[in-house]
Structure 1
Amino acid sequence: MDRLKTVVLGASGLVAQRLQQRLHRHPWFELCAIAGKSERQGETLDSILWRLPEERPPFGPLQIGDVHDADLPKKLYEAGIRVAFSALPSEHAVEVEPMWARSGIAVFSNASSYRQDEGVPLVIPEINPHSLSQIGAIGYPLACATNCTLLPIIMPLTPLHRSFGLRSFSVRTEQALSGGGYRLIDHREGNSEPLEEDIPGEAIKTEAEFRRILDWNGTAEIVCKRVERNDGHHVSVKAEFENDITLDDIHQCLHQWNALNANKEHPSAPHSPLMFPSDLDVKAHLFGDGIAFEDEPNPARNLKTGMAIVVASIEVLDSRTVAFEAYSHNTIRGAAGGVVYLAELAYSMHLLGNDSS
């Protein structure tokens, strides 16, 4: 089938480069344009410092356009581009994304600017795919992926909530430096002082998105900390349910939900969304694809690597209280991979103007 032409909004950030990496050999989408900061207009993509640990894919002589230029999305739409992947900071996304979407280009956003807006779908493909059918309800096609921190919390809790009724939960997160961008990684390089600091606004965003996606009104307590690790968000969760629950119940519930969501047709969908090692290892379990953990991952080659959520150390504390750990790759499943997966879902639902061929 013909690949849909796409543009990435963002040239040099970690998420923008993860998006570029994922689109290099994507079977459904073709990377045809890049739009970045105004001061980068006219530069070529291969002149931008590559900040990911994997080798830079050979993109060819892609020239960077000005993401703020109101004429650029119109020109790209006329050139056949139909999808934009936004890795813009929220302060820019709030103005830029609607401008691009009004041109007719469907925008799939990693920014937080519109995640709580009525009529803008906020979607996790395994949990609320039906919500994506609302795309365009505000008059132009814009959809959002969630906060990177939310994924390891909500993915295990969703099937448990649907089976046993989630009353309340508390979470403590340990979030990687890459969640704060490459400047934070650069700043911490060579710094021997231990890092464990609060992340302003993170808990509020995470809780609000959890409530919206599950239409849930229980009690939540979330504490978010930044730690000295380049990639990977680790969460420790304690949850109370309305109904009695046993360890066997939990395993059966999670494995049944996992099977229902396994082997999806989407290129970025993990083989299974959840993985269950006996113990969680933040180094060894960063790049799970739903079957195995890769030692030498290449997300440009294997779109599934880093897309699974790891769940471990499940305990029943009393008849209605459960504790577990979970872990995910924040710039892949929590950011670029999640955004591309969302667009793949829209493609498979024929929401992007593509036919069934």
Structure 2
Amino acid sequence: MQRLNVAVLGAGGLVAQRLQQRLASHPWFELAAVAGSPRYLGMALDDVPWVLEDERPSLPPLNVVDVSSPNDVQALAKEGVCVAFSALPSEEARRLEPMWVEAGITVFSNASAFRRKDGVPFVIPEINPRALVEQSAGTLRHACATNCTLLPLILPLAALNEAYGLEGYTMRSEQGLSGGGQAYMEAALAEGKVKPTIPGEAEKTEAELRHLLGWHGEATLDCGRTMRRDGHHVFVEATFAGSMDEEGVEQVLSAWSHDRRMSHLPSAPHQPLMLAPTIDVKAHLFADGNGFPQSPNPATERAAGMAVVVANLRCPRPNTVSFEAFSHNTIRGAAGGVVLLAELAHSMELL
């Protein structure tokens, strides 16, 4: 498969650098451009401060171009850049992503600006891959990945919904600091305290789940931040139309797998869901669907951090299950998820 020339929209943020990390030696995509804000304009990529805890990978000798310049965007399109991965904040994404799309560059966005917008596929590869085809008229120009909080909630519920028929759920989250961005995380770590609430997060997560599952039941969500760098941990109780027991629930979750076409994608986890007795937020951060690597290199071990861990399963009533789930918010919930989405689109010959 010929490698496609791609750009990252974002130079110095957590998700932007996760994208650079995952694309540095990607077998299908070649990092050909990084577009950033005036703060980084013209800077050599190796001179942009590296904010991830992982070692900076070997990156191509690029200078940061202007993410908001029509001339720069048109020049990249003429040079053969055909895909862009957007790590822009939502308001900037709303303003700038259409310019990249209009230049003929397919944008895969991590921002919320165009999620649930008509004509822009909003996709989790394990749940609704056909939306890429159904909403793109054969030529994909713009697609969105999901909110990082949604992943550890929706993947287990999607599996259980297929088996038992979801009627309602409650969810409480403890979300890593990196979900609030680099500046928020640095301030919280420096001050040693965190703002416990996340305005708008519960509403956004609930709406996205309803959209992706086509579901209309009762839901109550409470989203909060915790003093941990990475990883989103959710606590869920759900009711179903069918009856169940713990053994049956474990079998459903263990057997649930992604679409067969995903098995060869470079970023796909070996299995999307992993079961554990309890959640260990350090040991489980880089779950890959087969095991729990402790110090992986995300630039080359692309499945690391792409699986959701489910634990502490209980059935307090015949139609009710409670569980905890955990996933890496800047990998599966952001950069890894959006690269996986592009891999799926490429495998479907939509790029």
In the superposition, the TM-score normalised over structure 1's length comes to 0.95
Alignment of 1:9-20 (within 5 A): 9-20=9-20
Alignment size in residue pairs: 351
* Offset from partner CA, 1:305-342 (integer Å, 9 cap, x none): 00000000010010111100000000000000000000
105-114 vs 254-263, which deviates more? 254-263
Which residue pairs with 1:292 in the alignment? 291
Alignment of 1:181-330 (within 5 A): 181-193=181-193, 195=194, 197-258=196-257, 264-330=263-329
Alignment of 1:49-60 (within 5 A): 49-60=49-60
| Counterpart residue type for residue 326 of structure 1 | A
Structure 1 pair 125–109 and aligned structure 2 pair: CA distance change class (3 A): same
Q: Work out the CA distance in 1 between the residues paired with 2:350 and 2:187.
A: 42
SS of the residue 1:88 aligns to = coil
TM-fit CA distance, 1:137: 5.2
TM-fit CA distance, 1:140: 7.0
Structure 1 pair 134–35 and aligned structure 2 pair: CA distance change class (3 A): farther
1:37 matched to 2:37? The reply is yes
TM-fit CA distance, 1:258: 3.1
Q: Work out the CA distance in 1 between the residues paired with 2:290 and 2:139.
A: 40
Q: Work out the CA distance in 2 between the residues paired with 1:227 and 1:221.
A: 20
TM-fit CA distance, 1:136: 3.8
Contact in 1 for aligned 2:125/2:341 (Cα 8 Å): yes
Superposition RMSD in Å: 1.7
Contact in 1 for aligned 2:106/2:141 (Cα 8 Å): yes
Structure 1 pair 283–207 and aligned structure 2 pair: CA distance change class (3 A): same
Q: Work out the CA distance in 2 between the residues paired with 1:130 and 1:15.
A: 26
SS of the residue 1:267 aligns to = coil
SS of the residue 1:38 aligns to = coil
Which residue pairs with 1:82 in the alignment? 82
Q: Work out the CA distance in 2 between the residues paired with 1:347 and 1:145.
A: 15
Q: Work out the CA distance in 1 between the residues paired with 2:51 and 2:40.
A: 17
Which residue pairs with 1:334 in the alignment? 333
| Counterpart residue type for residue 125 of structure 1 | P
Q: Work out the CA distance in 2 between the residues paired with 1:155 and 1:43.
A: 40
SS of the residue 2:130 aligns to = helix
Q: Work out the CA distance in 2 between the residues paired with 1:9 and 1:57.
A: 18
Q: Work out the CA distance in 2 between the residues paired with 1:274 and 1:192.
A: 33
Q: Work out the CA distance in 2 between the residues paired with 1:163 and 1:261.
A: 19
TM-fit CA distance, 1:176: 0.4
Q: Work out the CA distance in 2 between the residues paired with 1:36 and 1:70.
A: 13
| Counterpart residue type for residue 201 of structure 1 | G
Q: Work out the CA distance in 1 between the residues paired with 2:320 and 2:44.
A: 54
Structure 1 pair 322–140 and aligned structure 2 pair: CA distance change class (3 A): closer
SS of the residue 2:314 aligns to = strand
Q: Work out the CA distance in 1 between the residues paired with 2:338 and 2:128.
A: 14
TM-fit CA distance, 1:135: 5.0
SS of the residue 1:276 aligns to = strand
TM-fit CA distance, 1:257: 1.2
| Identity within the alignment, % | 52
| Counterpart residue type for residue 55 of structure 1 | E
Q: Work out the CA distance in 2 between the residues paired with 1:227 and 1:175.
A: 6
| Structure 2, gaps ≥5 residues long | none
Q: Work out the CA distance in 2 between the residues paired with 1:119 and 1:208.
A: 18
Structure 1 pair 257–310 and aligned structure 2 pair: CA distance change class (3 A): same
Structure 1 pair 231–262 and aligned structure 2 pair: CA distance change class (3 A): farther
Q: Work out the CA distance in 1 between the residues paired with 2:30 and 2:23.
A: 6
Structure 1 pair 304–7 and aligned structure 2 pair: CA distance change class (3 A): same
Which residue pairs with 2:151 in the alignment? 151
